[in-house]
Homo-oligomer: A and B are copies of this chain.
Amino acid sequence: MHVNPYYEKLPGNYLFAEIARRVKAYSAAHPDADIIKLGIGDVTRPLAPAVVNAMKKAADEMLAPATFHGYGPDYGYEFLIDAIREKDYAPRGVALAADEVFISDGAKTDTSAIQELFAPDARIAVTDPVYPVYVDSNAMAGRLGDFTDGRWNRLTYLPCNAENGFVPEPPKEPVDVIYLCYPNNPTGTTLTAAQLTPFVEYARKYGALIVYDAAYKAFITSQVPHSIYEVPGAREVAIECCSFSKTAGFTGVRCAYSVIPHEVTGIGGNGQRVELNALWKRRMGSKFNGVSYPVQRAAEAVFSPEGQAQCAEAVRYYRENAALIRRELQTAGYEVFGGVDAPYVWMKTPTDSWAFFDRLLDQAHVVGTPGAGFGPSGEGYFRLTAFNTREKTAQALERIRRL
């Protein structure tokens, strides 16, 4: 059997695997170094008690035949879908039908699987720097051509940097799909409705699809959209992926949701319009068996009054970490971006980003993520995350200031 030829085109080392390798090597050589990790985007605050109680209650239901739950609906339980519609979307003026919301085990799963609905030769655009999953999933499907000098030759990069205020321009060439993530990973920056509008207009004009990743929307405090559907016309061109991971600390619990409005269509073999909603149902029905019942009950509890209050507290904690990181870096003379509506602070580095990574590790024992790992326009930048404890975060920043 021949294997999928596109896997061979992937660059050798993952970003985070390479980071782990360097940290491990450094630790081995310096066993006494007290290393603080502000690298990966994993949460550290405990789950909301309301969430844990709901999960345990659901687990208990599984003990009796009358309340036992076997296979759930492939697309998610109605109780969770309705909570999302009523508590997450309706308050922002976004009305969704029950069959436009799909529950899954993660936004990574959804944003990497959505490309299965695209034609094999679909042209893809991503903002640069970018969360690697959009790129890798399309590369594995053979859509991106070859990777040379840090770039895929069949991928459209939309640069985001200090010069353009991290506001990307819509593609100059025709593309079929644009991935957008706001609040952004890795830069922590946002787009206003006015700045998102040209993308919706582009998609409507050229028949393109927007895959909008809103995984960090719980961190928004500024006047920017929480959902792409707050932008007029987006319902016809955009899919939106959300997650409980950062909103409610579910990185280890695994639950997410995606919205696919009925109006979003692609072109079929005879030129006819095909609903992506229908294709996704077929995909989910054939390849997925739904999310764990106790996990869906836990996710439902995120929307209860206690759950909302408890989850907001954790988000506030991380937000204060981000503010601390911003403040301390600025005091130390660094130029910083993001970190206001997002758990990520994006800083300019005095040297190239991997050299800065090595220096920070060696001289401050602090681990961050080199911008170059997120794409060509990430070079010269560095990401710090707000997900560690207050104490460790403060300690890390103190060390960076002393550099």
A113 and B105 CA atoms in complex are apart in Å by 15
Interface residues of A in 184-224 (CB under 8 A from B): 207-209
Q: Beta-carbon contacts of A17-56 to B below 8 Å, as 1s and 0s?
A: 1000000000000000000000010111111010010011
Q: Beta-carbon contacts of A134-150 to B below 8 Å, as 1s and 0s?
A: 00110010100000000
Contact of A289 among B69, B106, B121, B298 (CB under 8 A): B106
Contact of A3 among B40, B55, B267 (CB under 8 A): B267
A306: interface (CB < 8 Å):
no
The segment from A251-259, A328-336, A343-351, A363-371 found at the interface with B is A251-259
Instruction: Please determine whether B64 and A46 come into contact, CB atoms closer than 8 angstroms.
Output: yes
Instruction: Please determine whether B109 and A288 come into contact, CB atoms closer than 8 angstroms.
Output: yes
Which chain B residue shows the least CB distance to A136?
B286
The segment from A91-99, A277-285, A374-382 found at the interface with B is A277-285
A43 and B293 CA atoms in complex are apart in Å by 14
Copy count, this protein chain: 2
Which chain B residue shows the least CB distance to A296?
B252
Which chain B residues border A113 with CB–CB below 8 Å? 287
Closest-CB distance, A136 to chain B (whole angstroms): 4
Contact of A292 among B109, B133, B295 (CB under 8 A): B295
Closest-CB distance, A344 to chain B (whole angstroms): 16
Which chain B residues border A2 with CB–CB below 8 Å? 118-119, 121-122, 176, 266-268
Contact of A44 among B42, B47, B65 (CB under 8 A): B65
A324: interface (CB < 8 Å):
no
Q: How large is the interface on A (under 10, 10 to 19, 20 to 34, 35 or more residues)?
A: 35 or more
Instruction: Please determine whether B72 and A252 come into contact, CB atoms closer than 8 angstroms.
Output: yes
Contact of A46 among B40, B68, B269 (CB under 8 A): B68
A290: interface (CB < 8 Å):
yes
Closest-CB distance, A80 to chain B (whole angstroms): 14
Which chain B residue shows the least CB distance to A66?
B46
Instruction: Please determine whether A282 and B10 come into contact, CB atoms closer than 8 angstroms.
Output: yes
Which chain B residues border A269 with CB–CB below 8 Å? 5, 8
A6 and B274 CA atoms in complex are apart in Å by 13
Which chain B residue shows the least CB distance to A282?
B7
Which chain B residues border A7 with CB–CB below 8 Å? 117, 274, 279, 282
Known contacts A52-B59, A119-B3; is A254 also within 8 Å of B109 by CB? Answer: no
Instruction: Please determine whether A266 and B1 come into contact, CB atoms closer than 8 angstroms.
Output: yes
Instruction: Please determine whether A4 and B116 come into contact, CB atoms closer than 8 angstroms.
Output: yes
Interface residues of A in 265-318 (CB under 8 A from B): 266-269, 274, 276, 279, 282-283, 285-295, 298
29 contacts between A and B (CB under 8 A): A1-B119, A1-B176, A2-B118, A2-B121, A2-B122, A2-B176, A2-B267, A3-B268, A3-B279, A5-B269, A7-B282, A8-B268, A17-B285, A42-B71, A44-B65, A46-B62, A46-B63, A46-B68, A52-B62, A55-B55, A70-B251, A105-B254, A105-B291, A109-B287, A113-B287, A136-B286, A136-B287, A253-B292, A294-B294
Known: A46-B63, A105-B105. 12 other contacts (CB 8 A): A1-B209, A2-B176, A3-B274, A7-B282, A45-B65, A46-B62, A46-B68, A62-B253, A108-B287, A136-B286, A253-B292, A253-B293
